[in-house]
Chain A
Amino acid sequence: MSASTLKVEKKEMLRRIRRNRSPKKIIRTSLHYLFLTVVTAIFFAPIAYMLIGSFKPTAEVLDGINGFALKNLSFNNYLQVFATFSDESMGFLWRFYANSILVSFVIVFGGLIVNSMIAYALARLRWKGRDAVQVLVILLVILPFEAIAIPLFFLLRDFRNTYFVQFLPFIASAFSIYLFYTFFIGLPLEIQESARLDGAGPWRVFKAIIIPMSKPVFASVTILSFLGAWSSFLFPLMMVDNPLYVPLPLEIQVFFTQPPTDWGPIFAFGVILVLPVLAVFLLFQRWFIQSVAASAIKG
């Protein structure tokens, strides 16, 4: 018998097994769904808590189980948040958003250009010093940001409260370079080699061949570096306090400085903070998830 008929037989057998629609199967499936729902609900509880709490007065948020109760809902907390951030002295909400967007934007897109270029140079070109740079990048991948946070803070202290200090140090990322590198290495060599044979220079090969073939890794890096940039906390905490330049996640501190903590507005602010990213995530979640997974498989 040939291999293909063996395969067909196997498939038939499986089909029979799978098509088993016995009541047992239905119970099994329902239980599975039930189990999933319960586990998911438990997992989602904190987020639900925040969502619900953002519409309740503070006293009723901190009330044990009743924190989940849907009563006394109003927009008051949101109104308070807007009222707090309504003039220059406290800064404007839209400004915080704009700051976060601008900084993330520059980090992500600057990073795509810079990191992919150097990764390509390391992966496919031969040049003096390439090996040394490879070693450097490997070493830097291991090095977490925290290792240089303090000295960066010290060195850049005269540039606090600017946009530059928020994005410039983060455009080049050893991790992104590594992701690009691993992907580029995996691309078939033949196409590139024939292009070179035809006289195309490295830049052309990069632009015309590599980039179009690398959509998945570009997507991954975009999403991963965006997530990192948007939620970055440690460095902005040390470097920015001017409401004109402060990114959004930092401003949650405003509600934390003087006790007692007013939980209602904090949750409202939290919702405001996370809503855009959440929306983007929900719209593009397949991409998000695929990117994360793809980057890991390749890495």
Chain B
Amino acid sequence: MKVKQISAVAGAIAALTLGLGVVAPAHASGAQEITVWAMCSETGEIAAAREQVAAFNGYYDGDYHATLSCKADMGSAIKSTSVDGLPSVFEFDGENLAAYVYAQKLKQLDGLVPGSVFSNELVSIQAEGTYKDGHKYSVSQYDSGLGLYGSKKKLAAAGVKDVPTTWNKAWTAARFTQVLAALAAKAPGKKALDIKENYGMGPGWPGYAFTPIVNSAGFQIVTNGKAVGSLDNAKVVAALKTFASWKKYVDPSADDKAFENGRVGLAWVGHWQYPAFSKALGKDLIVLPLPNFGAGTKSGQGSHSWGISKNTAGAELNAANVFLQYIMQDKWILNVTDQNGAVPATKTALNKSVNYRKGGPLQLYADQLAASCGTAKPTTKCVTVPRTISAAWPVINTAFGTAMQTIWNGGDAKAALRTAATTIDQDNADHNGY
């Protein structure tokens, strides 16, 4: 029968290819093997990941050998893999640090990675990599910058003269509303702002881009272990209501190019858009701080981090340690940040970066990160706030994102935030405070 023949062939092919795949590539024997999982999903990050691993293998040929594996969804991969199945070293989204430490999947790095590496890191990065026990569990090659991008020409044409370039001069929310109205009046499509709605307004993007609004109203999401009273505080509700009132000025940016193609004069997004924006706008591009909702402008921080999995030991641990230090060299940090445009995570690399050093076009980001609030109550003296360093972050992220989506679509802000806060507190209680 035809079917039988076809299936026999298919089976043979499958078996053959898999057999081929199982044959391991030969390399220097005696080299200590380590496995590396990286989050190389964008084209640029894929290349960077491959390059630094190849360079590491070349440099330590005979001593160490790293095998790279890219994960499309690192969060799920780490979450669903028990600690025995984890690789020697892995890259992860920094927001999950506390969750991984709590799940006993990360190794403490104090005493392993030299203190000089940590002290060279940006203040914000050090905050990101520190768990509530005071110890360090990750290093990072880059941090993120979040703010507004603007078109000088459009702002001028709209009659806006007080354009802030440093974070202490950020527009107030009220002033920002006027700016948006003025810009929209002059725009053909009557839109003024791109907040990257196309990234999705549910859990995810808002957890990074719009939690600064909560902070700017003067609150962390969770204060003294409680979200109720903090996240759903009247000031926060008011701030988010104001934000939602700007929806009429927002271009949904389905093609992701609302700002680039000149449909709007302002964009609320991060460093990753700089290459495309500077290409499109050239000298017309300006970088500004996010609006101030009462407690000073606030911004986000945090990006990918690297850690060693808890059960890595012995010679493998040694090799993993060497690998981390290798990729934390300025050369490799700059290699990846040149490709993805992020903020280099060490002071020395930052100073070498054309974009981020003093006088560079993205200096604002560096300045903001240098004034990290950490986990303290946000004041007008600090800017960037790390995403809540707690094992509950995934729940917080989901709850906040859901609330944001409701609020953005016109729902009751107070109720939405109250629901989110209650959910967070209940989860906390279920886990006995983690």
Contact = CB atoms under 8 A, between A and B. Distances in A.
B42 interface: yes
B72 interface: yes
B70 interface: yes
A84 B43 contact: yes
Given A62-B255, A105-B10, A95 B17 contact: yes
A263 B234 CA distance: 41
A261 B196 CA distance: 12
Nearest to B14: A102
A90 B67 contact: no
Interface stretch (B78-86, B167-175, B279-287): B78-86
B43 A241 contact: no
Given A62-B254, A84-B43, A260-B256, A98 B17 contact: yes
B42 A89 contact: no
Counting contact residues on chain A (CB < 8 A from B), the size range is 35 or more
B21 A95 contact: yes
B50 interface: yes
B85 A160 contact: yes
B72 A88 contact: no
A144 to B, nearest CB: 22
A81 to B, nearest CB: 11
A161 B82 CA distance: 12
Contacts of B17: 94-95, 98
A175 interface: no
Contacts of B205: 259
B41 A89 contact: no
A89 B50 contact: yes
Scoring A101, A108, A158 by chain B CB atoms within 10 A of each residue's CB, the highest score goes to A101
A157 B77 CA distance: 11
A88 B37 CA distance: 12
A91 B46 CA distance: 12
A159 B163 CA distance: 57
Interface stretch (A37-45, A124-132, A134-142, A249-257): A249-257
Given A105-B7, A241-B71, A254 B41 contact: yes
A238 interface: yes
Given A94-B17, A238-B80, A259 B196 contact: yes
A161 B18 CA distance: 14
B11 interface: yes
Given A101-B14, A219-B3, A259-B196, A241 B72 contact: yes
A243 B255 contact: no
Contacts of B70: 89-91, 243
B50 A87 contact: yes
B38 A89 contact: yes
A242 to B, nearest CB: 7
Contacts, number: 92
A101 B13 contact: yes
Interface in A83-118: 84, 87-92, 94-95, 98, 101-102, 105, 108-109
Interface in B232-275: 254-257
B144 to A, nearest CB: 12
A222 interface: yes
Contacts of B14: 98, 101-102, 105
Contact of B199 (A109, A238, A259): A259
Nearest to B49: A89
A252 B53 CA distance: 25
A89 B43 CA distance: 13
B213 interface: no
A244 B67 CA distance: 13
Contacts of B46: 84, 89-90
B371 interface: no
B72 A158 contact: no
Given A95-B17, A160-B81, A259-B196, A241 B41 contact: no
B113 interface: no
Contact of A259 (B15, B38, B77, B198): B198
A55 to B, nearest CB: 19
A94 B14 CA distance: 10
Contacts of B67: 88
Contacts of A219: 3
A62 B258 CA distance: 13
Nearest to A103: B14
Contacts of B196: 259
Contacts of A5: none
A157 B41 CA distance: 25
B268 to A, nearest CB: 14
B82 A158 contact: yes
B201 interface: no
Interface in B184-199: 196, 198-199
Given A84-B46, A87-B50, A157 B18 contact: no
A132 to B, nearest CB: 34
A89 B82 CA distance: 21
B255 A59 contact: yes
A258 interface: yes
B227 to A, nearest CB: 27
Nearest to A63: B255
B69 A242 contact: yes
Nearest to B42: A258
B40 A90 contact: yes
B118 to A, nearest CB: 28
Interface string B1-27: 001000100110111011001000000
Contacts of B11: 102, 105
B73 interface: yes
Contacts of A259: 196, 198-200, 205, 256
Contacts of B50: 87, 89
Contacts of A62: 254-255
Interface of B: 3, 7, 10-11, 13-15, 17-18, 21, 38, 40-43, 46, 49-50, 53, 67-73, 76-77, 80-82, 85, 196, 198-200, 205, 254-257
15 contacts: A89-B38, A89-B49, A89-B68, A89-B70, A98-B18, A101-B13, A102-B11, A102-B14, A105-B7, A157-B82, A158-B85, A241-B72, A241-B77, A259-B256, A260-B198
Please list the 3 inter-chain residue pairs (A to B) with the smallest Cβ-Cβ separation, ordered nearest first.
A260-B256, A102-B14, A89-B68
Given A87-B50, A102-B11, 18 more contacts: A80-B43, A89-B38, A89-B68, A89-B69, A90-B40, A92-B21, A94-B17, A98-B14, A101-B13, A157-B82, A158-B82, A241-B73, A257-B41, A257-B42, A257-B72, A259-B198, A259-B199, A261-B256
Interface of A: 59, 62-63, 80, 84, 87-92, 94-95, 98, 101-102, 105, 108-109, 153, 157-158, 160-161, 219, 222, 238-239, 241-244, 250-251, 253-254, 257-261
